[in-house]
Chain A
């Protein structure tokens, strides 16, 4: 597959799998207003996934539709980072994961708004507005939980201990991506990482949270090596299309 297809598919799968995770909160949020607000986020994110998958399907150029890509691919063909497939856990874990992605998305879409690939730029421009709001929300929640009660701080620190190891993968590069950066299509991962680091660490210094200093770094999503969680997620998500292939819904 082309470098561009792989690049777009990574962005698409990140949003699709995150959106699927977020939608698990629908109806069971910590209070009604928050339930509704988080569902707004998942709607935005799944909407982005739909646009990006449509673009991927167009780039691929055969008869595989966006829905086919979402519902008929096996897990080793998914290219999302491992961060987004991590279980929702408690609200601290959900919100920290969200904040990590939100900051990434804001810088990513800012860059991609100027991409030489017109369609990608258009998607990025639209999505940027959405993720800017998502970040405002998740940032406040990080503060509320990190600085709220002892329990909430403990939970947020636990989330940090677990999730921090997953952020590096967002900024991984390879020859294909370097080439796309050269062509003015893709965002430079290294630049994104720098900006992300500054912003996230700035927020963390306003809280008593501590960043784990050592540990494992998640990797593998781009080449289809996922955590065990993804396969089970797909079993559920793809059930109808798999059980009754070729139907219209």
Chain B
């Protein structure tokens, strides 16, 4: 067992009466804590979802880190660094939450590096100009926040607490991205062109971040019933579009969707059917940067192996010394 103290809950037999009692707790909005009994499928779903989320944070550092060395002012460099660092922090909060379910970070990380585990497809797109650093904050973090705010009330205690912390920190991420976009959109014609280009490339993939349409989502129903998820993919996507379109208008930029139109009857924006084949293709590994991102993560992990080993050996030597003394 990875850690005995806080987290030695067993994946018990899923007896019907246990399942029923569990569902009652969920329905009563009780939080589930690490050592409580839980259905093995609940545990499995959580480990999958939380670790995927953690992986996304970690891989998500890379496209933005692509611009750290070229950030155009000292202030922007500081903000971008702090923001990317937060992503690493959020990854850690989430791995920490997943570990309470009995899965080691080592195992989760190995799954990421081997390509077995998935992460958000959005990070398999390149950041080609400085406005991408803005668009990622504005749209990608904007979409992420929609998801994350909904997850603050998720039924598993450690996950919910991690999300509360993340949401608190994440609120500046979207704003700093929008601030970059605003400077670019109101700047020279070249800057404006960069901003429009970044929006054109980021819009579609951002909408896909909410996952497949509800009718095609394999995990949704059970997750809703267990209150791991609290809103459907399509609802959150619509909410995101409704919030974002006026922001784009304020920037004077055009959202690349000719069918985008406010619908008086529904009170929401209508938009084009999403090309799901692209998402599934990128998930399968065929995005523009899948290989590059995985190579970068593997290289960092392999290059760091001797450092981690040195620290572990040194700690052992320290301990031996103490025992002798």
Contact = CB atoms under 8 A, between A and B. Distances in A.
Given A23-B77, A33-B92, A67-B74, A39 B308 contact: no
A149 B309 contact: yes
A28 B313 CA distance: 22
Interface string B140-180: 00000000000000000000000000000000000000001
Given A23-B68, A23-B69, A66-B74, A35 B88 contact: yes
A217 to B, nearest CB: 29
A143 B69 CA distance: 30
Contacts of B102: none
B74 A46 contact: yes
B115 to A, nearest CB: 18
B314 A143 contact: yes
A244 B188 contact: yes
Interface in B291-319: 296, 299-300, 303-314, 317
B280 to A, nearest CB: 27
B259 interface: no
Interface in A70-127: 70-71, 90-91
Contacts of A35: 88
B70 A240 contact: yes
A147 B314 contact: yes
A75 to B, nearest CB: 16
A30 B300 contact: yes
A36 interface: yes
Contacts of B314: 143-145, 147-148
B72 interface: yes
B220 interface: no
Given A30-B304, A30-B308, A152-B309, A249 B76 contact: yes
Nearest to B91: A32
A244 to B, nearest CB: 6
B183 interface: yes
B122 interface: no
B58 interface: yes
Interface residues of B, number: 48
Given A29-B300, A39-B85, A42-B81, A20 B310 contact: no
A40 B86 CA distance: 10
Interface of A is mostly: helix
Given A30-B303, A36-B89, A46 B81 contact: yes
Interface in B246-288: none
A240 B72 contact: yes
B170 to A, nearest CB: 16
B130 interface: yes
Contacts of A147: 314, 317
A70 B74 contact: yes
B277 to A, nearest CB: 30
Contacts of B92: 32-33, 36
B181 to A, nearest CB: 11
A28 B296 CA distance: 8
Interface in A18-76: 20, 23-24, 26-36, 39-40, 42-43, 46-47, 49-50, 53, 66-67, 70-71
A36 B88 contact: yes
Interface in B161-209: 180, 183-184, 187-188, 190-191
B113 interface: no
A71 B76 CA distance: 13
Interface of B: 58, 61-62, 65, 68-78, 81-82, 84-85, 88-89, 91-92, 95, 130, 180, 183-184, 187-188, 190-191, 296, 299-300, 303-314, 317
30 contacts: A26-B61, A26-B68, A26-B84, A26-B85, A27-B84, A27-B88, A27-B296, A30-B305, A32-B95, A34-B307, A35-B88, A36-B88, A42-B81, A46-B78, A46-B81, A47-B78, A49-B74, A91-B307, A148-B311, A151-B309, A152-B313, A155-B306, A236-B70, A239-B70, A240-B71, A247-B72, A247-B191, A248-B183, A249-B72, A249-B180
Interface of A: 20, 23-24, 26-36, 39-40, 42-43, 46-47, 49-50, 53, 66-67, 70-71, 90-91, 143-145, 147-149, 151-152, 155, 236-237, 239-241, 244, 246-249
7 shortest A-B CB distances, which residue pairs?
Answer: A30-B304, A148-B310, A152-B310, A27-B61, A30-B307, A28-B300, A249-B72
